[in-house]
Structures are given as structure tokens and as C-alpha cells.
Structure 1
Amino acid sequence: MGFVLAFGVVSMLADVVYEGARAITGPYLATLGATAVMVGFITGIGEAVALVLRLGTGPLADRTRRYWPLTIAGYALTIVAVPLLALANSLWQAAALVITERFGKAVRTPARDTMLSHAGSEMGRGKAFAIHEALDQSGALVGPLLVGLAVGVSGYQLGFGILAIPGALALASVLLVRRAVPAPEHYDHHAARAHPRGADGQKTRAPLPARFWWYSAFTAASMFGFSTFGVISYHLEVQKVLPSALIPVSYAVSMGAAALAALGSGLLYDRVGLRGLLIVLPLTAAVPFLSFAIEPGLVWAGAVVWGAALGFHESTLRAAVADLVPAARRGTGYGIFTAIYGLAWLAGSTIIGALYAESRMGLIIFTVATQVLALAVFIPLARSAGTQTQRK
């Protein structure tokens, strides 16, 4: 419990940095000449880099078990890249820094999530990931508010530059947690038996179960219709739905909703299992009706709904992976899962950006159709879960 809380504080500080930046990325790219399709592609490829490259960093964490060096290096990349956005003077410089920040997330997350899954083995993984995500999202609430204030005072450059301060605090914090808890896997006695030090590595090459692949397909189908905030914030900027200084505030509202949804979804998962994840489908389907409206009231409601869906995706969906793959292949499982997730989000966000430019009704139809597809994919997964329960 102590490790989960401490790492939650690290993630909270880091989230002030990169979620503060994400809140203004879309409008900032627009000021540098980006179109809606370009914003969708740049933010989508950033998310894909953050997720797909875990195909390499996940197995690397399993093979080396050097969870802390990977985690610290990943945080350092993010903390350096974000403030440098204040100095970007072209669209492609800004795009490169956005993608570099996401690369840092790819480096650290499989190792970090593996440590969290070990530390949360006794308290319940749904609860552990929910607590971590709630603390994480509290930073995502503060970051956009801080950036919004800075943008209102002096523009986007100050908005990015001020994030160097919480970045330095985040890096100092993760080093302190590393010193206090050098080996979180020791909390997980089952994992220690499944993958003792000195094992010959055969277990790390065991095939992943079919339920993991069905679960990954379900998540990919849902994420295929989930817009990045970059496209939403682009809409808010170019349509002048909200003043520029209020766009990051709307993102802060999303992060508050994500924190609450993460807590609720984590507890629900520990009680009812995978069935609790179905709530994410109607939430995602509602996003285009609200977030791409031109009425401010609907947009604020959309901020809550989009954030709640994100809270499910970034907490409970991660917790489920640890229960679907062998302990010795957990880093690999996270890497593959998030790679599939990221490719789906990249493709979907690019399509959503293109549809936004052509037809809002087409955007709505596309989003709803993807969630219906996700529901269809979930049926074999639910049946397999029921079969396993009967066998027990």
C-alpha cells in the first residue's frame, strides 16, 4: 500500500507536466499551422509511440528485470521534452517534442506497471491501479489549471515553460521512492514463485492465453473510436467554442472525472471482473455528441464523459492484463496489449480528425459503430470467463 501511494505521488507530479502540456497541444499546433487531420495524426502517432514501442520495452523489462532504470529514464525523457516545447518555432519541431514526450512514457510504463502489479497483489490489483490512477489524475487536474493560468497571463510559451518546476520535483521524487523500495516484486509472493531469480527464461517464452488476445481486441475496437483530446481541443479553438485560456480548464475537468472513474471502475473490477468494463462503451459513444458540439454546456458535459472513459481505459484496463497473463510474462503482456491499443488509437484518431473536417454526422456514426464492434468482440471473452468460473 505504501509503495502504491508513493508512486501515485510520483505520477501525480509527472502528470502535472505532461497532462498540462497535452491540454494545450491541439491549440498550440493550430497556431503553428496544423490542420485538424494533422493534429489528429500528430497526437495519434504520439499515443501510438507511447503504446506500440512497449512491444520492445515490455519484454526488455521481463528479460532484464531492471524496472527502476527503465522507469527513471522514461520519466527523465518526458520531463525534459515538455518544457522545450516553449522554444519550438515550427510545427515539426513541436511535433518531434510531442512524440519524444510520449516515447518517455513507452520506456517507463511497462516496468512501472509491473512493479505496481506486484505491489498490489495482496490489496487487489483493481484497487491498487485505481488508487494509483486517482493520484495520477489529480496531477492531471492541477497541470491544465496551472497551464491555463500561464496561457491567460502570457501565452503558450509560459504555459510550457512553467512545467519545468513540477518536472524537477517528479524526478527527485522517483529517485527517493527508488531508494526506499528497490525491489517491489518482493511484495508479490506468487510472482516470486513463478519467476525466481536465476530462472532459465523458459517461462518468459510461454504463449499468452487466448483470453488475453480477445481482451486486447475488445480494447482496440473501443479505442478505435476514442478521440484524442488534441482533436477535441482543436475543435474548441478553431470554432471558438471556449476562450483559449479555458480549453486547459476543460481538460482539467476531464482529469477530475477520470480520477473518480478510475476509483469506481477499479473497485467494480475487483467485484465483478471483466463485465464491469462494458461501461466504457456507452461513455465513448457519447463523446462526439458532446465534445464536438458548439454549445459550451454540451462541451463541458463532454469533458466529464471523455474523462470518465479515459479513467476506465487507463486504470482498470491495465489492471485486467495482470490477471490475464502469467506473472513471468507480465511486462511482455503489457507491451503487446498497449501496442495493440496504441495502433488502434492512432488509426482511429486520424480517421476522427479527417471526419471532423468533413462531416460531424460521419464522426458520430463511426464512433458508435466502433463501440458496437467492441461489444461483439466482448461476447467470446465473457463466455470464456464464464467457462473458467464453472471449472473453478
Structure 2
Amino acid sequence: MSKGIKKISPNLRLIILIGIVSFFADMTYESARSIIPQYFTYVLGGSVFALGIVIGIGDFLGYSFRSVSGKISDRTRNYWGMMFLGYTINLFAVPLLALANNYIIASILIIMERMGRATRIPPRDYVISTVASENRIGYSFALQNLLDQAGAVIGPLIISVMLFYNYGYRDAFLFLAIPATLSILSLYVSYKYSKKEINFEPRKKIERGIKKRHLMYYFIGIGLSAAGIFHISFILVLAQGFLEQYEVTLIFTLAMVGEGIFGFIFGIAYDKIGKEIIIIGPILAILIISMVSFHNILVFMLLGLLFGAFTGINDTVTRSVVASYIEEEHRGSVFGALNTSYGYGLLISSIFVGYFFNQILIIVLYIIILQISSIIILLKFFKKVNHEK
């Protein structure tokens, strides 16, 4: 047993430690996201349109602010300091939701949580991309994402059990202060380990980089795909109309299972196949919207898995492309720009779907048009990059 452990390189151990930080972090905020739509609409009295606006603004800022965070990280080189700041804001906004007595206060806390997440993700991705083995970049991100999603599965499962035994939403939010604290403590352990054990060796110069003008195709293609997704929050609101509270939370749990499993598979596939695997994302989005009208528990469980697969490919493969094609000194900024385009897409999607929530045909046509457009632009990007080799 000890011999097996010794074979793990110090760099891989750091990635695992960061994965443990993510495990407790996702246990905190993904558990919250599994009950926020119900809490917001059924307990605090917010409308579905208001929920769409808040989720849209939160996700937009949660992704677009990563551009700012990435640039600050690159300029200051204080990656760990940015991570500590982001994780603290991100995680402790969650238990404070228990104290919200109206949906306005809840909205502020939801947006704070997203902003904290935006602050810490670019520096975290930089650290992972720097210590990852050059021929196993996809694997490194997939491993971190797998540990991340393990927490995202276990947390909502615990919340589902709490709801089954008649604990309230406020009790659930208060409980989440425990994994939030464990995540911060794990981050401190990771930081100390990185100072003692890790040697950050300079990478070879990337010879097959992407020209800046061609990156725009990538950003627009990913942004359009995000703009054409039927968000899990709306899936949960629909499910609330015909399922029990704990069953709705289980749908979210399956989304996290899907993100973890498929994210890992897509990460491994990226190392074997390459960037073209991103095309699966738009196809998944079309599958999701084609099934939301079937109000059946098994269909909605499948919807959860498919949404998880969609986010899994975006969380793993899109980052791997940046790590493979962008030089280290620009990577934090490009991670930020990529996330900004994704955030714009989620903002548009959430507001549009929230406004036309009761007109499903309009939503179906909108999503199909955007996802086909995304595929066309991503194919153009692949052609440009392949031509440069």
C-alpha cells in the first residue's frame, strides 16, 4: 500500500489535494444550488422570471469576472491569495442564505457566491495547468473535476435525506457551513504542501499555439452553446410541479453524477482524440430541450444526467484546450476570457428561458438555432487551428 502511494508524484499529489478542496467546496455550493430554485420560488415567493434573472446575472458575473480575476492573478502572480479570497466569499455566502427572509436578500447572496467562485477558479486552473504533466493535461483536469463532482453528488444526497426527514431548507443551508469550513482548511494544507514539495519547472515553449484572432471563434462557439442551454434550475422548477422535494434534489444529484463521470471520460478522450470532442456539448443541449415536455420521473432523471454531461465537457475539455495551446504567462487571462464568453451565454439563456418559460416551442426553436450555430463556428475554429499546424 505504501509503495503504491510513493509512486504518486508530488505534482499529482498537489492536484489531488486541490481536488479535495473542490470536493468540500462543491459539497457546499452545489448542495445549495440543488434547493435554491425551490427555496427562491416556493418559500421566498420569487417568480420564475425573477429566478431566471438572478441565476443569469449570477452565472454571468460568475464567469465574466473570471477575466478580471485571471488578469489580476497573472499580474500579481499571487495565485494562492486569490484562491483564498475567492473560496472564502464563495463558500460562506451559502450558509447565510438560511437567514434570508425575502428573495432580494437571497439574490444578493446567490450573486456573491458566484462572484467568489469567479475569483478563485482562474488561479486554481493556472496552478493545475502548471503542475500537470504535459501529455496528461486532460487527465489532470478530469481528475480534479472528478473529485470536485464527488462532493457535488454527496452533498445534494445529504440534503435530499434531510428533506426526506422533514428538515427545512434553512436547516440545510446552516448544515453547509461544515463542508465550507473543511474546504478552507484543505486549501491551507494544499498551499503549505505546494511550498514544500512542488518544483514548478518551466514548460517547453508551445509550438502549436492558437493565434489570437482565431481564439474568437472558440470563445463565440462556446458562448453560443452556453446561450442555448436549458439550465438545470429550470429543470428543477418543472420537476417541482409533479415530484416530491427530495426527488427534485435527486435530479440535481444525478446532474452532478453526470458531470463527474462524463467530465472524466471527456477529459481522457481529449488526450486521445483532441479538441474536436467539444462538438458533443451542443448535441447534448439539443437532446435536453427535446425531452423537457415529458413529465416523467425517469425522463427527468435522465435530463439531470444529460445536463451534467453538458457541463462536464465544458468544465474539462474547454480548459484543456487552453492549457494545451496557450503559453503559461497568458493562460490566466485566456481562462478568464473563455469564462466571460460562457458567462454571457448563460446570462442570455437564463433571461430568455425565464421570460418564455411557459412557451416551450419558442424555447425549443431558440436552442436548436443557437446550438447549430455553435457547431458551425466551432468547426470553423478547428479548421483554422489545424491549418496552423
Whether TM exceeds 0.5 here: the answer is yes
In 2, distance between residues paired with 1:49 and 1:183? 35
In 1, distance between residues paired with 2:259 and 2:271? 18
Distance 1:270 1:156, change over 3 A: same
Look up the match of 1:70.
82
Look up the match of 2:233.
230
Distance 1:184 1:370, change over 3 A: farther
SS in 2 for 1:190: coil
Task: Find 2:103's aligned residue among 82, 87, 91.
Answer: 91
Tell me if 1:387 matches 2:384: no
In 2, distance between residues paired with 1:184 and 1:146? 35
Distance 1:213 1:121, change over 3 A: farther
Q: Give deviations 1:117-167, integer Å, cap 9, x for gaps.
A: 101143521111111111101111011111112223211111111101111
Note the 1:76-155 alignment, pairs <5 A. 76-152=88-164, 153-155=166-168
Moved more, 380-389 or 126-135: 380-389
In 2, distance between residues paired with 1:121 and 1:355? 46
Q: TM-score, normalising length from structure 2?
A: 0.92
In 1, distance between residues paired with 2:71 and 2:368? 34
Q: Give deviations 1:25-84, integer Å, cap 9, x for gaps.
A: 111110212222111111111111111112211100000010001001111112210001
In 2, distance between residues paired with 1:334 and 1:325? 10
- 8 A contact 1:126–1:319 mirrored in 2: yes
Look up the match of 1:213.
216
Q: Give deviations 1:354-374, integer Å, cap 9, x for gaps.
A: 2222x1122111111111000
Task: Find 2:30's aligned residue among 19, 34, 51.
Answer: 19
In 2, distance between residues paired with 1:97 and 1:291? 29
Look up the match of 1:287.
288
| CA positional deviation for 1:208 | 6.2
Moved more, 61-70 or 143-152: 143-152
Q: Give deviations 1:73-122, integer Å, cap 9, x for gaps.
A: 11111221000101100000001110111111111011101001101143
Distance 1:110 1:292, change over 3 A: farther
Letter in 2 for 1:231: F
- 8 A contact 2:64–2:339 mirrored in 1: yes
Letter in 2 for 1:86: A
Tell me if 1:189 matches 2:190: no
Distance 1:34 1:382, change over 3 A: same
Distance 1:173 1:346, change over 3 A: same
In 2, distance between residues paired with 1:177 and 1:47? 27
Look up the match of 2:316.
315
| CA positional deviation for 1:378 | 1.3
Task: Find 1:4's aligned residue among 7, 12, 15.
Answer: 15
- 8 A contact 2:232–2:304 mirrored in 1: no
Tell me if 1:305 matches 2:306: yes
- 8 A contact 1:256–1:307 mirrored in 2: yes
Look up the match of 1:267.
268
In 1, distance between residues paired with 2:219 and 2:198? 25
| CA positional deviation for 1:341 | 0.9
Letter in 1 for 2:237: Y
In 1, distance between residues paired with 2:214 and 2:136? 20
Look up the match of 2:4.
none
SS in 2 for 1:154: coil
Look up the match of 2:188.
175
- 8 A contact 2:14–2:193 mirrored in 1: no
| CA positional deviation for 1:324 | 3.1
Task: Find 1:29's aligned residue among 37, 40, 44.
Answer: 40
Tell me if 1:362 matches 2:375: no
Q: Give deviations 1:325-357, integer Å, cap 9, x for gaps.
A: 222111111111111110111111110112222
Distance 1:129 1:156, change over 3 A: same
In 2, distance between residues paired with 1:302 and 1:330? 33
In 2, distance between residues paired with 1:42 and 1:292? 24
In 1, distance between residues paired with 2:130 and 2:375? 30
In 2, distance between residues paired with 1:300 and 1:183? 45
SS in 1 for 2:340: helix
Distance 1:296 1:50, change over 3 A: same
Distance 1:373 1:183, change over 3 A: farther
- 8 A contact 1:12–1:137 mirrored in 2: yes
Look up the match of 1:203.
none
Moved more, 35-44 or 292-301: 292-301
Distance 1:115 1:84, change over 3 A: same
In 1, distance between residues paired with 2:356 and 2:275? 32
Look up the match of 1:342.
343
Aligned length: 373
Question: Can you give the 5+ residue segments of structure 1 that lack an aligned partner in the other structure?
Answer: 195-206
In 2, distance between residues paired with 1:45 and 1:29? 15
Letter in 2 for 1:11: S
Look up the match of 1:201.
none
